[in-house]
């Protein structure tokens, strides 16, 4: 999933005028907005995964990696670390007389 945000020139001029007295105000505001959006998107990704997979939020968040926006690089990326497998115990695996029971899918 790729989120690409565009800003209207008129809105940008308006914000720039509001932050004229703040040193690097527009740049700081944009970086803060990108990081807030990244954080919210990471939470939404975790919720989407948990709708389909029976796993706790903390176990998903360990595998979601994000980079923060800076003044020199005002962009952020979020990746799901697929290289590392999630242990079955995170899916509520239990030992039974017949072996092991677990449920990965919620469907």
In 3-state terms, what secondary structure has residue 41?
helix
Q: How many CA atoms lie within 13 Å of 23's alpha carbon, on the beta-carbon side?
A: 0
- Give which of 83, 89, 71 is closest to 28, Cα–Cα: 71
Q: What is the model's pLDDT at position 1? A: 63
pTM comes to 0.75
Per-residue model confidence as pLDDT tens for the chain (107 residues): 666 777 788 887 888 888 888 888 888 888 998 999 999 999 999 999 899 988 899 988 888 999 999 989 888 999 888 767 888 888 888 889 999 888 888 87
């Amino acid at each position: 999933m790729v989120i690409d945000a565009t800003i209207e020139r008129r809105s940008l001029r308006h914000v720039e005028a509001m932050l004229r007295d703040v040193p690097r105000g527009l740049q700081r505001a944009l970086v803060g907005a990108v990081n807030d959006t990244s954080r919210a998107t990471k939470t939404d990704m975790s919720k989407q995964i948990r709708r389909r997979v029976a796993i706790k939020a903390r176990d998903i968040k360990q595998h979601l990696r994000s980079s923060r926006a800076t003044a020199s690089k005002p962009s952020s990326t979020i990746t799901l670390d697929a290289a590392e497998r999630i242990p079955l115990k995170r899916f509520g695996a239990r030992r039974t007389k017949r072996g092991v029971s677990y449920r990965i899918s919620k469907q």
